Amino acid sequence: MNIFYAPPNQIRGNQIELLGQEATHVSKVLRYREEDAITVVDGQGGWYEGIISRILRDSIQVTVQNFEKKPRRDPRLALALGIIKKRDRLEFAVEKAVELGASEIVLFRSEHTVKENVRMDRLESTVLSAMKQSLRAYLPPVTVVPSLSNLIDKYKDAKLLVAHEKKEGETGVPGVLKDSGELVLFVGPEGGFSEDEITLLKNRDSEIVSLGSHRLRAETAVTAFLSQFL
């Protein structure tokens, strides 16, 4: 099964217009025909089942027959990830985060961040294809913030969970935390969190979480951390 993406401004009443790569994918790659059934999501929980009414040169017209609003998962899980230097590893981490249900992804520059610039265009297409591949109706926003403290300010009333390999004791997220409203899961970059950053997070009464006694790559930690909420 394939699903396709149309932002809300391309949806009017029971008419949807697919444009750009989505339209090309439908008509040129998958060679859909007029009257074929098709499913479209709007990235905000809308799930539309319909029929292709027109295939034009660079757009596809869809007539909606059935609409469903998919519920947002609860708790909402934001991933706060230190910018990983290696681009393909960063894209891998972002792709897994979407597949595993992150509601949004915030990349932060930490004291140990080696790399400055982020290829946002590539991250956005990674997120879009991961949403479609995992048949999700929500398109998680990806943003970059300049520092960890700026990030902490952004989530005043969320519960912060910090994956830190220096935490002794039991592994995993305490059950009680799994049902609270919004959680922010922090994973550091290759060089980990600095002592100051851990102090900053502890001062915000973060829960420090161990993901086992062995050191994981940041992108592996993202997967291990988020999969605890499945």
CA distances from 75 to 63, 101, 104, 140 (A): 34, 10, 12, 14
As measured in angstroms, the least distance from the Cβ of 96 to ligand SAH is 13
Which is closer to ligand SAH, CB of 130 or CB of 218?
A: 218
CA–CA separation, 161 vs 169, rounded Å?
15
Which residue shows structure tokens 């300010």? 153
Q: Which residues sit at the interface with ligand SAH, rule CB under 6 A?
A: 163-165, 187-188, 191-193, 210-212, 214-216, 218, 221
Least CB distance from residue 188 to ligand SAH, whole Å?
2
Nearer to ligand SAH, 36 or 190 (CB): 190
Question: Which one, 5 or 193, has the nearer CB to ligand SAH?
Answer: 193
Nearer to ligand SAH, 26 or 187 (CB): 187
Q: Which residues, including other chains, have CB under 8 Å from residue 126's CB and lie 6 or more apart?
A: 91, 94, 95, 98
In the complex, least distance from residue 217 CB atom to ligand SAH, rounded to whole angstroms: 6
- Which residue type does 33 have? R
- Residue 58, token pair as written in the block: 């660079």
CB of 148: closest distance to ligand SAH in angstroms? Answer: 12
The closest alpha carbon to 208, from 157, 168, 154, 149, belongs to: 168
